[in-house]
Structure 1
Amino acid sequence: MSGYLAALEGTEAGHTAALFLALMAAVLHAIFGALQKGKHDPWLSRAAIDACYGLIAAPFALFVVPWPEPHMWAIFFGAWVIHVGYKLAQAMTYDRGAYTVVYPVVRGTGPLFTVIGAGFVFGEHFSPAQWFGVVVLLAGIYGLAVYNLRTITLDRAKMPAALGFAVLTGLFVALYTTYDAYGIRATQDPFTFLAWFFFIDGVFMPVITRKRWLALPRADFVPLFKRGLLGAFVAFFSFGSIMMATRLDKVGEAAVLRETSTVFAALIGWLVLGEKVGPRRTALMALIALGAVIVEFAG
């Protein structure tokens, strides 16, 4: 499999595969965000997911994939630090704000700075038409956040802090997307990076949430475990898809396409959470999709 993927890098088939992987990551990331935000404490939801994917990844990292090259340990440490910051910011965001408001802000901030970062790190440059597509996509994402903010009635006093943390989380999204794209390109076998990343990354949140676990009613353990197990498999395919997309093709384009997750998040809010969509939100979601299409076809 690794040899097949290596053969696709930089080819038209690789570009097509990266497009598919980025869109799959968008759908899965919206599901992942809903799983963490759900009815449970977002700190414990994330801890349950991390513990599950860390335990599942351990045997693959230790016994299946090729052992990491010596230079990869420093890269793994950097990735771990960045993702710790991201998780803390994300948990504080979801702890304070409505999912349909803060999620678009997080996802709108991420691609803008990822595109800029990819220019510095990988020498990627968007055409003027692609930048127009980014502007269209961001207008839809932030427009959706503003519209949702105006219509919510719960926890409005917490929203300024929630929005601040959402922007911070978006900056971490840009940072980890760019850094992890560098990391997965730095090893010969991409599955080595993925397996060891999940193994290492699964430690932090279960440890720092120990007191919250001790205070959790016993009846909530099984539902949280089920959520964690489901979230683990969603994370494998979501993060794995976007990382493979950044290895096969341009980092910036993959990051922008992934942010169509905002559309899927709104659909989840409508279909699962019973939230109303209406013509204005439909138009804003169409604007997000249009921006992604422009970026793809103007490339």
Structure 2
Amino acid sequence: MLHAVWNGMTHGLRDKLAGFTLISIASAGCGAVLVCVAPLPDPAAWPYIAASAALQVAYQLLLLRAYQLGDFGQMYPTARGTSPLVVALVSTTLLGHSLPAGQAVGVAVISCGLAAVALADGIPGRAQLPALAAALGTGVMIASYTLVDGSGVRVSGSVFGYIAWLYLCQGLVFPLIAWARRGPSLLSALRPLSGRGLAGGLISLLAYGLVVWAQSHGDLSTIAALRETSIVFGALIGAVVFRERLGHRRIAASATVLVGIAVLQLTGGR
């Protein structure tokens, strides 16, 4: 729920670039505090930290673009639902992992759900394609840094240290990109949004922290499936808060994606 909420808060801002900048500042600030107390990651982890930070900045830029162009109730489920589908396909086609029948069913259900989200208000015209492309690209970036972090954490020697430096590194880059786009005028845009933007950043960090805590106390497959309930919360926010049309269709399509993810995770044997 918290993940969908901070995304909804950001989408609701008129100046979304400023909102994403404030979220990154919050991430960098928390990272700067954490690196002072966290153990230093093993040298083997630094290439993974650098790659993940770059991928997460690309994710932020694509998500920003998706929110600038499309409805929240369509963009958020598309971005979140694409990620586990891409991870499953990459694991099978490039990493040589097998895809059991149950997981194949999950992939098929996710694909149908994503198609339903994209087609909820009819066949997209040329004007809608850039928004959908940005949302799909966001999902690919989520899948990419998920795969990178999965390997990086294992060689880091310190999950806490890995996360701390990742927060700091990726949090510093986006504000620099925003400054390059806007220059000094960015500062005047940040001031009126500072409270809401920084709150969104803290909520995003809290959401991630809850996932990490849950993963250390419960079944990983169940938790991975449950965290994707954010897809349905996102569709609900789009329909109820932003009053987006065809909300009921997007909620139903998002629920289908969630069912497919649950099948994919719970039959993964992890």
Normalised-by-shorter TM-score class:
0.7 to 0.9
Asked whether 1:32 is paired with 2:2, we answer: no
In the TM superposition, 1:1-299 aligns within 5 A as 27-61=1-35, 63-119=36-92, 125-147=98-120, 149-150=121-122, 158-210=127-179, 211-212=181-182, 214-215=184-185, 218=188, 221-242=190-211, 258-275=227-244, 280-299=249-268
State the one-letter code of the partner of 2:113.
Answer: G
**Contact 1:135/1:291 (CA < 8 Å) preserved in 2?**
yes
**Aligned residues with identical type, % of pairs:** 30
Q: TM-score, normalised by structure 2?
A: 0.82
**Contact 1:79/1:179 (CA < 8 Å) preserved in 2?**
yes
Q: Distance in 2 between matches of 1:162 and 1:289?
A: 21
After alignment, is 48-57 or 269-278 more displaced?
269-278
**Contact 2:83/2:139 (CA < 8 Å) preserved in 1?**
yes
Look up the SS of the partner of 1:71 in the other structure.
helix
Q: Distance in 2 between matches of 1:163 and 1:292?
A: 20
State the one-letter code of the partner of 1:33.
Answer: N
Distance 1:281 1:60, change over 3 A: closer
Q: Distance in 2 between matches of 1:43 and 1:124?
A: 39
Q: TM-score, normalised by structure 1?
A: 0.75
Q: Distance in 1 between matches of 2:86 and 2:167?
A: 24
Distance 1:271 1:146, change over 3 A: same
TM-superposition CA deviations, 1:258-282 (whole Å, max 9, x none):
4432211011123322346665444
Q: Distance in 2 between matches of 1:43 and 1:208?
A: 10
State the one-letter code of the partner of 1:266.
Answer: A
Corresponding residue pairs, total: 267
Q: Distance in 2 between matches of 1:51 and 1:268?
A: 25
After alignment, is 238-247 or 190-199 more displaced?
238-247
Q: Distance in 1 between matches of 2:96 and 2:158?
A: 23
Distance 1:107 1:88, change over 3 A: same
Displacement of 1:90 in angstroms is 2.1
State the one-letter code of the partner of 1:34.
Answer: G
Unaligned runs of 5+ in 1: 1-26
State the one-letter code of the partner of 1:170.
Answer: G
State the one-letter code of the partner of 1:287.
Answer: T
After alignment, is 186-195 or 229-238 more displaced?
229-238
Q: Distance in 2 between matches of 1:186 and 1:121?
A: 21
Displacement of 1:213 in angstroms is 6.2
After alignment, is 111-120 or 261-270 more displaced?
111-120
**Contact 2:221/2:265 (CA < 8 Å) preserved in 1?**
no
Distance 1:257 1:125, change over 3 A: farther
Unaligned runs of 5+ in 2: none
Distance 1:145 1:259, change over 3 A: farther
Q: Distance in 2 between matches of 1:103 and 1:111?
A: 14
**Contact 1:30/1:264 (CA < 8 Å) preserved in 2?**
yes
